[in-house]
Amino acid sequence: MTKTVLVLCTHNACRSQLAKAILTHDLAPAVRAISAGTRPANEVPAEVFAALRLAGLPADGLVPKSLDAVLDEPVELVVTVCDDAKESCPVFPRPVPRLHVAFPDPMGQPLARFLEVRDEIRARLVPAVRQALDAERGARP
């Protein structure tokens, strides 16, 4: 059964978009990642698309979304990738496990910084999400 993971960030423009694409790719078919922002930006910067494509990851259809757009989704895990989103993470209609793994915001920096953040997300977040979902599965009867 596919688990839905919500990646939450402030602007849903850089870190959460990178994480959504990486988690969906690296943990498929077990995980479907969605993303949202507590205060979404107007657009995803070109560097996010470039960073994903340079790693051979799909980058189509990435647009910032508000948390309201995904609150009704059946989510098995909420992942916050910035401290601000962790602090303002809402209460969901049902209890949902949470995981916080913060990454630096590359917005406004050169492409090289986006590549570093992309690689850090892949190295740290993918195993953390896998472990959190495995622990959740083990906690159920």
Query: In this predicted model, what pLDDT tens digit does every residue of 31-75 receive, in sequence order?
Result: 999 999 989 999 999 999 999 999 999 998 899 999 889 888 889
Residue 12 in domain: yes
Angle, alpha carbons 92-83-45 (nearest 5°)? 95
Residue 87 in domain: yes
Sign of CA dihedral 36, 37, 43, 48: negative
CATH for 92: 3.40.50.2300
pTM given for the model: 0.91
Residue 141 in domain: no
Domain total of the chain = 1
- State the pLDDT confidence band at 90, using cuts at 50, 70 and 90: low
101: domain range? Answer: 3-136
Instruction: Give the catalytic positions in this structure.
Output: 9, 82, 89
The answer for residues whose C-beta is within 8 angstroms of residue 93's C-beta and 6 or more apart is 71, 72
Residue 82 in domain: yes
Model pLDDT, residue 141? 42
Residue 109 in domain: yes
